[in-house]
Amino acid sequence: MGILSKCFGGSSSSTSRKQPSATVEDLCHRFSLEQLRKSTDGFDKSRLVAESIFSKEYRASIYVNGELKHVTVKRLRQEAATSSYGLISYKNNIIFRCQLHHPNLVSLVGFCDDHNEMIVVYDYDYAPKGSLHDQLYRTERNSPTLSWKRRLEISVGVARGLHYLHSGTKRTIIHLDIKPASIFLDENWVPKLKISGISVKGPKFSEKEARPIELESVIFTFGYVAPEHLVNAGVTHKCDVYSFGALLLELIGGKHPYHILGLHQVCDIKELRNLAGTGNGEGIIDESLVGEIAPQCWELFMEITEYCLSEDPKERPDMGEVEVQLEHVLQLQEEADANRASQASLMAQEIKDDIFPR
């Protein structure tokens, strides 16, 4: 019996053990360890694309239902697989991701739990442009920076993915790892949010009051963690909203939230407004974006960011509201760009008429 059946729990009867695993197999593909060994050349170093203290990730090509797919094979290290975090992480990856289908989420292809292995296989073609972190902090000389409109489009896509996690399934899914390194960009710059092993399933979406979920251990990335999560006071979907606010700040500032917010993680609306100076973004805005952002677009974007970063979780908006507001910000920017282009065209025509009068 694979370790996934044990992870899902249940009674000791044969029927109880088999049912959860069969349900998962209906939703995603179960690979054999031999298949994955072959596709990764025995988990060879030349196939390695990423690694952490918990896992190693390999690039591979493998047939799934007769179709050749380019995939990433994420294999938990044995020491992590025997830890409580490893078990929870693997369980979360399978339970959450095999049920999630959204254009702004990384797709799960399958899993392998042969011989107590903990392996997750996901689509590799989701990230030809790399991660958002790669694009924001490119070190190559003369490499183009992300335009303001592109950053807005990415933020809207991530908001849609988060909104789906929070309200698009029977139970709220709390991501808990929102940051540029968790967001990947396809060939059309569509953002794909990657579900991490620390994500947790929250209360039913129909419940009006979001009850905090207490975690056995607190794992986070400094700079994006909500104040209540930092002190292990329990997590809700509003923790993701805070992290998303930090991401918005990073998109407009071009710097890690820590360098913008300072040493104190908590930043209320008034403090952030003061940091913005006179309203033109001094001290916050990425130098490469100067002159690109329409004034009304800036004001609304910063208002959304500020509310997402509210210290009190109850004052933070839901992601559905954030999504709608960001779509409006994008619309304002597109209208401003169109007006600017129209004015430039008229000016060019006037100059032409002055030089070459009819």
Domain regions of the chain by residue span: 3-123, 132-341
- Give the pLDDT confidence score for residue 34 in this predicted structure: 96
Residue 159 CA neighbour count, 13 Å, CB half: 27
Give pLDDT, residue 8.
45
Sign of the alpha-carbon torsion through 297, 192, 321, 136: negative
| Cα–Cα dist 73/122, whole Å | 7
pLDDT at residue 312 above 70? yes
Would residue 291 be called left, alpha or beta, if left means φ above 0 and alpha means ψ between -120 and 50 degrees?
Answer: left
Fold observed for domain 132-341:
Transferase(Phosphotransferase); domain 1 (1.10.510)
Q: Which band of pLDDT confidence, cut at 50, 70 and 90, is reported for residue 19?
A: very low
- pLDDT greater than 80 at residue 260: no
How much is the pLDDT for 16? 39
Q: State the architecture of 3-123 in CATH terms.
A: 2-Layer Sandwich (3.30)
- The share of the chain scoring above pLDDT 90, in percent, equals 41
Tokens representing 164 are 């789906």
Q: Which 8-state DSSP code applies to residue 105?
A: B
340: pLDDT strictly greater than 60: yes
Q: What angle do CA 312, 192, 164 make, to 5 degrees?
A: 50
73, 76, 75: which is closest to 60 by C-alpha? 73
Task: Confirm if 71 and 107 have CB atoms less than 8 A apart.
Answer: no
pLDDT single digits (tens) 85-117: 666 667 666 776 788 889 999 988 899 988 888
Range list of H helices, the chain: 3-8, 14-27, 33-39, 78-81, 84-97, 132-136, 148-167, 227-230, 237-253, 257-261, 269-275, 295-308, 319-355
> CB within 8 A of 220, min separation 6: which ones?
176, 177, 229, 230
| Catalytic residue set | 177
